[in-house]
Amino acid sequence: MNKIAKKTTSHPQGLSTRAIHGRQKPEPSTGAVIPPIFATSTFVQSSPGVTTGWEYARSQNPTRAAFEASLAELEGGSAGFAFASGLAAEAAILDLLEHGSHIVASDDLYGGTWRLFHRIRAHSANLALTHVDFSDPDAIEAAITPRTALLWVETPSNPLLKLADLSALAALGRKHGILTVADNTFASPAVQRPLQHGFDLVVHSVTKYIGGHSDIIGGAVVVGGDADLQNRVSFIQNATGGILDPFSSFLGLRGIKTLPLRVERHSANALAVAGWLENHPAVERVLYPGLPSHPQHELALRQMQGGGGMVSVFLKATAKQTVKVLESFKIFALAESLGGVESLVGHPVSMSHGSLPAERRAELGITPNLIRLSIGIEDAADLISDLDQALARL
């Protein structure tokens, strides 16, 4: 009862239609088109244990359920589960594993994910980690051991925008009986849908493209078609209690409704910006899956609908010069996070990946001259003009 029923139609609906209407019905008591914010902690029972399907707001909340159902619809999953942050969602996935399990994970990961793996769960749950370049399927298979319980991938990765072949990884997971998890934060379901490639789970920082307006913190897990896995994630969400609040759920649902439209503009702007940067004399290298110069551009064409809104840039600059550029932007905001309507610029070495040991950053090639651009939905010409004036400081 706590999951909203899926609508049936005579023909498959497009992504934008499903973003607005998928698994949604007007609120039954009032006919409200948009599910309201149910700011309640509990629900009345007509007799002990006899409920309307809603009991206690940690376990179920109608606003959160509407958001979860909508996100599951976009990802093509059986159910969604919303959490208080992206890391809370990741922690819930790790709770699926037995103590002492082994994880094979991308070498290029968000710094917060690396911190959760290595500085929390390696100690509290004795989890073992092996990091592999997920663009190399042979290296992934070689890293699998009898204790391996999970393959964890970011694609595109943060911040080097590496891609992983989702279909090949899903097949590898099935071959070895291993759960497969894709962090789809950088792409969003408007760009790619890992469950359709055979993945078991998708995780999101809802804070980013799903919310889309830099005004909430949230996370989500979407489960494919495995009913047992769905029940286990549901149990963990309720038992550990790191749920998304009703107001943030309301804003997340609002974000979903414009996601395809926003991401279309993010991707178009990012392609224009990345192409311009490739020809700038102060730029050493541009990483963007939508550019033919990206080493995995052909894979991007196969499994992504557009290149997404993230662009990583290596400048021909010292660390000090790079900081000077970062301090010179007028439209791009120097700030953590990504995926909002406004353009942001970040410095992975000192911001998103500051929690990684310096030697680990050096191994990965996350150097002081690397900047990460989250391209917003402003006019592309204005973004290019801002980049031009900032790079003129070099």
**Helical packing angle, 62-75 and 246-278, nearest 10°:** 30
R_g over Cα of the chain: 21
CB 104 within 8 A of CB 151: yes
Out of 18, 64, 193, 208, which one is annotated catalytic?
Answer: 208
Residue 367, Cβ density class (10 Å: 0-12 exposed, 13-18 middle, ≥19 buried)? middle
Burial 144-180 (b: 16+ CB within 10 A, else e): beeebbbbbbbbbbbbbbbbbbbeebbebbeebebbb
- Strand, coil or helix: what is 391? helix
Report how far residue 270's alpha carbon sits from residue 294's, in angstroms, rounded to the nearest whole number: 14
Out of 6, 25, 58, 115, which one is annotated catalytic?
Answer: 58
Catalytic annotation present for 7: no
Report how far residue 353's alpha carbon sits from residue 245's, in angstroms, rounded to the nearest whole number: 28
Report how far residue 257's alpha carbon sits from residue 273's, in angstroms, rounded to the nearest whole number: 26
Catalytic annotation present for 208: yes
CB 384 within 8 A of CB 279: no
Q: How many CA atoms lie within 13 A of 185 on its CB side?
A: 30
User: Which amino acid makes up residue 290?
Assistant: G
Out of 18, 23, 64, 110, which one is annotated catalytic?
Answer: 110
Out of 165, 183, 245, 386, which one is annotated catalytic?
Answer: 183
Q: Which residues are catalytic?
A: 58, 110, 183, 208
